[in-house]
Amino acid sequence: MTITTEAPADFLVFLDRVGAALDAMFTGDPRPYAALWPDRGDVTLYGAWGPIEQGRAPVTRTFDWVASRFSDGVMEPYDYRVVAVDGDLAYTVGFERGVVRVDGGPRAPMVLRVTHGFRRIDGDWWLVHRHADYPPPDPRKG
């Protein structure tokens, strides 16, 4: 993990909660991840399967749909490439990797590249943005 700024201890604890919540998503349970998002109209999701949502209710409804597609998943430890914190705002850039069953199909590896945005609100850290996609091949590596 590359920490580009001094990350406060409470933020690192929150990142552990995010990791555990994503583990639950891979097994089909969206509740822990949804609980990490504040009830605000400015939270956003740019999902790996295409949905783009704004506002807590649409974002967390999408998490219900995503989790309903997953089962039997096991996630590797989150691969943070960048963790940056500046006052009450933070972001992470990295990869989510694991083995999961999607839509009842065979268990298969899954890799997502993910950027998360965070905000400290009334003293607590919250997720406020997620942008994820499947990394395309690097055309420079023929």
Domain housing 62: 9-136
Indicate whether 91 belongs to any domain: yes
pLDDT higher than 70, residue 105: yes
What pLDDT does residue 7 have? 87
Indicate whether 2 belongs to any domain: no
Indicate whether 3 belongs to any domain: no
Yes or no: say if 87 and 8 are a contact pair by the CB < 8 Å rule: no
State pLDDT tens for residues 6-38: 789 999 999 999 999 999 999 999 999 999 999
State pLDDT tens for residues 107-117: 999 999 999 99
Indicate whether 126 belongs to any domain: yes
Residue 53, both tokens: 């949502």
For residue 53, give the CATH number of its domain.
Answer: 3.10.450.50
Indicate whether 48 belongs to any domain: yes
pLDDT higher than 60, residue 1: no
State pLDDT tens for residues 39-89: 999 999 999 999 999 999 999 999 999 999 999 999 998 899 999 999 999
Q: What DSSP assignment string belongs to 55-88? A: SHHHHHHHHHHHHHHEEEEEEPPPEEEEEEEETT
Confidence at 5, pLDDT banded by 50, 70, 90: low
What pLDDT does residue 3 have? 58
Total structural domains within the chain: 1
How far is it, in rounded angstroms, from Cα 68 to Cα 26? 10
What pLDDT does residue 141 have? 84
What pLDDT does residue 138 have? 87
